[in-house]
Amino acid sequence: MMARMSNLVHQSGAYSDVPIEDRGELVLPGGRLGEIAANGRPVGTPERIAAYLLTEYLERLGVEVIFGLCGHTLVGLLDAISKSKIRYVTARHEQVAAHMAEGYARATGKPGVLITHLGPGLTNAITGIANAALDSIPLVVIAGDVPSYYFGRHPHQEFNMHLDGGQFEMCRPFCKRVYRVDRADDLPRCIERAFHLAVSGRPGPVLVDVPMDHFSSNLFFDAFSKEPPFVAKPCLEPAMAQRIVEALVEAKNPVLYGGGGVTSALVPEAAALFTELAELLEMPVAHTLMGKGCMPDGHPLLAGQTGFWGTPVANSLCLEADYILAIGTRLAEANSSSWDSRYTFNIPPTKLIHIDIDAMEIGRNYPTFLGAISDSTLALEQLVKAARELKQRPKREGDLRRRIEESNARFKGHFTEFYTSDAFPLRPERILADLRAVLPEDGYVVTDVGWNKNGVAQQFPFKHVGSFITPSGMATMGFGAAAVLGIKLARPERAAVALIGDGGFCAANPSVIATAMEAKIPAIWLVMDNSAFGVIAGLEQAKYDTTFGTKFLRDGEPYHVDYAAIARAHGANGIDIKEASELKPAIEAALASELPTLIRIPMVNVPTPTPGHWNINDIYRAGE
């Protein structure tokens, strides 16, 4: 029998006020104290149950919140978390939990921590984990698995079609690293590595797959002694910065292009440096979807977003550019008009200077004139330093600022009337205008996919960097309704509003309301209800003159769900907008409430303006 340790053995850390029997502290059996056992440790070296050591380690790493959903493989870990200072937020669906963790990471810059059960638990979470991967969001995912000694016998919920205990294989395509903890002694190393890798280089998710018996195994008291090292980020060399600035000074029509690597919470100083560089070199600024917020909207040098849902002046400036300095972007398809040289980027002859923290992105989509691997903040520091030392600021031909102002005014003029339209169902532009009128400047707008994402990126002005949160790479329907909870939990002092379609809200799983009520998160959902998967319905209508499979119908008539009543059934606020004038007061009341609030807004299905190009329009063909 293992001998129980006395309270004198350990009185430090999170467990000092927890009874010994609840801490699982043990000593090794056999031999006399002071003798060396076969494992090289003195006999009597204290041990504790791994789950408790792990939880205390997470505390030391600064983890304040864990998101997840229970399962029998996690019960031992949940018990340890319950005795710690870490807050545990339980969701009703693992994809919701993953998006919540992702939202938390986007708001804080810290790794979001997600725990999932095996089998269907991990498969449900995969979409959220993959969404984080494609948007470079740091997550540490701890997944329970079948007992290690049952690998291959197909115990309850085991994946073993091609590999014993093979559930971790599902995450290989999108996780930065996948660890399977084959021995309990490997758990500390794997967890330390996961937190290191999630934030190093290009951030992303890391999976640690843990057979459930390892949570209950004994580990030496100091097993989790190693912490992730501080690692200096790659930096742009001063000589390269000087060369880049000199090229931009000599350029006739340069453009500064910002991506998510400029607006990420992991690089909070980058956007200010980005703006300063544009001003020092008198360069127009364009950005990706993830780069919105790299410069405050309304700045005279800000042209706007590029690509299919961009602005005409942003696309034309990039198309005419002789040099483009792109920072923190992978020059993805939607932002690049499907890489068609007629619409957004014509590289070459335009010379691309590309700075990114991920070496694989340099030269991936366009030939690169100059490439550099660097953290965006450190690169911008060097570029700004070189630009400050210029003896004379560059002079650009023509009135660049007037061109940007006049072009954006003309573009906005096509839909300005809709910002004040009293039409009902509401125009989406009216929804954006009313939200902008009452939302605090630093309030978060969290979008799903559809008109909300595309319209907000194109038409909604932001002054505060990082306050626009959207799923870019995966464009995951269901992201917004769940991610807003993690964001509001991370930044309770700031407003957080999710703009989401009715299709997306159902995809998210309305259980987000129950989670918000349980966790006391006063998030706000604006459900833009057009009884359809609106963007796809619009595409199908334009190309095939039908909306088959894209609208919600009953007996041929639009089918509406009373989402406001669903919210009220959960004990939350539920408001159903009956006319346009009701929306702004409803949002104001929601912002002042301490309860989660869902506002259902009947909306007409209209397309977002598309100044750029998307190759799908070349693919569709109508048949007989």
Q: Given this model, what pLDDT does residue 16 score?
A: 38
pLDDT of residue 43: 64
Query: Higher model confidence: residue 37 or residue 12?
Result: 37
Please state which CATH number belongs to domain 46-220.
Answer: 3.40.50.970
538/589: higher pLDDT: 589
Q: How far is CA 476 from CA 376, 481, 503, in A?
A: 26, 11, 12
Q: Each residue of 318-369: pLDDT tens digit?
A: 999 999 999 999 999 999 999 999 999 999 999 999 999 999 999 999 999 9
Q: What is the mean pLDDT of residues 231-251?
A: 96
Query: Per-residue pLDDT averaged across 543-553, rounded?
Result: 93
Res 284 pLDDT > 80: yes
Q: What would the mean pLDDT of 288-296 be, rounded to a whole number? A: 96
Q: In what order do the strands lie in the sheet with 524-529?
A: 468-469, 444-447, 496-501, 524-529, 597-602, 573-576
CA 85 to centroid of chain Cα atoms: 25
Which of 36-40, 238-242, 596-600 shows the lowest mean pLDDT across its residues? 36-40
Q: Which among 236, 234, 237, 235 is positioned nearest to 200, based on CA atoms?
A: 234
**pLDDT by residue (tens digit) across 515-528?**
999 999 999 999 99
Length of the chain: 624
Residue 14 pLDDT level (bands cut at 50, 70, 90): very low
Question: Does position 439 have pLDDT exceeding 50, yes or no?
Answer: yes
All CATH 3.40.50.970 domain ranges of the chain, comma separated, are 46-220, 415-602
Correct CATH for 238-407 of 3.90.79.10, 3.30.420.40, 3.40.50.1220, 3.60.10.10: 3.40.50.1220
Give the CA count within 13 Å in the CB-facing half-sphere of 474: 21
Pairwise CA distance, residues 167 & 160, whole Å: 8
Work out the average pLDDT over 248-260: 97
**At 25, is the pLDDT very low, low, confident or very high (cuts 50, 70, 90)?**
low
Give me the pLDDT at residue 623, please. Answer: 84
**Helix runs in 479-576, H state only:** 479-490, 502-508, 512-519, 534-544, 563-569
Q: Contact at 8 Å (CB) between 574 and 563?
A: yes
CATH 3.40.50.1220 domain span(s) along the chain: 238-407
Q: Which amino acid is at 86?
A: I
Top CATH class, 415-602:
alpha beta
What share of the chain has pLDDT > 90, as a percent? Answer: 84
- Is residue 136 over pLDDT 90? yes
**pLDDT above 70 as % of the chain:** 93
pLDDT recorded at residue 159: 75
The stretch 395-419 carries a mean pLDDT of 92
Two structure tokens written together for 482: 């769940």
Residue 23 has pLDDT above 70, yes or no: no
DSSP letters of 371-402? EEE--HHHHHHHHHHHHHT-SS----SS-HHH
- In sign, the C-alpha dihedral spanning 348, 354, 359, 365 is negative
For the chain, what is the mean pLDDT?
91
Residue bearing tokens 């008109």: 451
pTM: 0.92
Residue 21 clears pLDDT 60, i.e. is over it:
no
Q: Which band of pLDDT confidence, cut at 50, 70 and 90, is reported for residue 393?
A: confident
Q: Helical H runs in 259-399?
A: 260-263, 270-281, 312-320, 376-388
| 545, two tokens | 């003159």
